A and B are shown apart, each in its own frame.
Chain A
Amino acid sequence: MIEINATMVAQVVNFLILAAILRALAYKPVAKMLKQRSDKIQDAINKADADKKAAEETLSQYKSQLADAQKRAQEIVDKAEITARQEREALVAETKKEIERLKQNAQVEIQNERNRAFEQMQKEIVTLSLAAAEKVVAKNLTSKENDKLVSDFIAGLNEDMFNGVK
């Protein structure tokens, strides 16, 4: 049962042949494939890391841009508000001035109108008085009472009528 013979050498040779065949046929391609796979996985991991980093950078960039835009928008709004307020104030001031001016004009106008009306009235009163006087004179030119009447009338006109006007 236990007998050592030349089979031993033959088996060693057989095995060495098998090892050589398997090395070329199976081991090398499989080892290459394993290496390729681990390289590929490593590449994928590296790429994923790089992508993540790039994405984070883009995100932070976007965030800062967004913040910037918001800040600028706020500035524009603030500026617009200030301008609007200033314009409104200027407008109000101008309007007030205009109103004041119109009021003054109106007062002047009113004064002028009054003066004119007074002058007109004075003239008419004088004319009327003269007409009345004419009639009285024409009727009773010689009568002394009439002279006195006219004088009183005129004196009364001077005191009563012009008191309220002046």
Chain B
Amino acid sequence: MEHIGVRETVQFMGLTFNIETLEMTWLAMGITIVISCLAVRSLKVIPSGWQNFLEIIVEWLHKQIEGMMGKRGMFLAPFIVSLFLFLLTSNLLGLIPFFVSPTNDLNTTLGLALLVVCMVHFFGLYFKRGHYIAHFFQPIAPFVIINAIEEIAKPITLAFRLFGNILAGEILIIVLLHLTENPFWLSLPSVAWLGFSIFISCVHAVIFTMLSMAYLGNAVKE
């Protein structure tokens, strides 16, 4: 129980890295790539197996992107699909014994959230130029303070929501196993919580992706 929250770090070129998070990230990346390879290994007009899985996700996200960002947002589809697949794999990875989710580290979630917010501002300026800056001062100039707080809150809420849920889920899995020695009362809540954690993992992958799309939609939509 002591190891919860204690990060194993390595120093590289004077920088500190959480090595476990990086290892798990690479593992998650590997799994995502392997699943994608399985899905596209023999693409058929009539899909089967993993092709179905990937096509369902891609089609669903295409629909969401079109709804939230319009036709112009379609160029971000590969990014959104990758984000969703990576988050889904990462969140579920922590439920396997001896593995942890890369998303239980704030560095991962905040990194992704900042990436999304940077993209929002970049594409906002690229597509809307002056109008994008002007919209921070609406409806009247003093609102720039509230808008600024909102813009700062976006990556923070996005990052902490995912981080908190995944970390809490993993902590609770460990805590439940230490509550009692009785095998019945040990297994029942753990199994129930594990099942709920699978649901939570999927839901938070969806939430992070959807909110990213919504933020990007503001910048990209015509």
**Could you list which residues of chain A lie within 8 angstroms of chain B, going by C-beta atoms?**
1-12, 14-19, 21-23, 25-31, 33-34, 36-37, 40
Contact = CB atoms under 8 A, between A and B. Distances in A.
Contacts of B51: 30, 33
A5 B77 contact: no
Contact of B79 (A4, A19, A33): A19
A108 B167 CA distance: 142
A19 B82 contact: yes
Contacts of B4: 1
Nearest to B86: A18
A16 B119 CA distance: 12
Interface in B10-46: 12, 15-18, 21-22, 25-26, 29, 32-33, 36-37, 39-40, 43, 45
B39 to A, nearest CB: 6
Given A18-B86, A19-B82, A5 B15 contact: yes
A10 B40 contact: no
Contact of B55 (A9, A18, A30): A30
Contact of B36 (A7, A14, A26): A26
B195 interface: no
A25 B5 CA distance: 35
A17 B28 CA distance: 13
Nearest to A5: B16
B82 A23 contact: yes
Contact of B82 (A7, A9, A22, A40): A22
Given A7-B105, A9-B111, A26 B59 contact: no
B110 interface: yes
Contacts of A34: 55, 58-59, 62
Chain B residues touching A, majority SS: helix
A33 B111 contact: no
Given A5-B107, A6-B16, A26-B40, A18 B33 contact: yes
B106 interface: yes
Chain A residues touching B, majority SS: helix
B210 interface: no
Interface in B94-118: 102, 105-108, 110-112, 114-115
Given A14-B29, A30-B55, A37-B45, A8 B107 contact: yes
Q: Which 9 A-B pairs have the closest CB atoms?
A: A26-B36, A1-B5, A6-B15, A7-B107, A23-B78, A19-B82, A11-B111, A8-B107, A8-B111
A40 B105 CA distance: 45
A7 B77 contact: no
A12 B32 contact: no
B18 A7 contact: yes
Given A26-B39, A30-B39, 4 more contacts: A2-B106, A10-B17, A26-B54, A29-B43
16 contacts: A3-B7, A5-B107, A7-B105, A8-B107, A10-B17, A11-B111, A12-B112, A15-B86, A18-B29, A19-B83, A25-B37, A26-B36, A30-B51, A30-B55, A30-B58, A33-B51
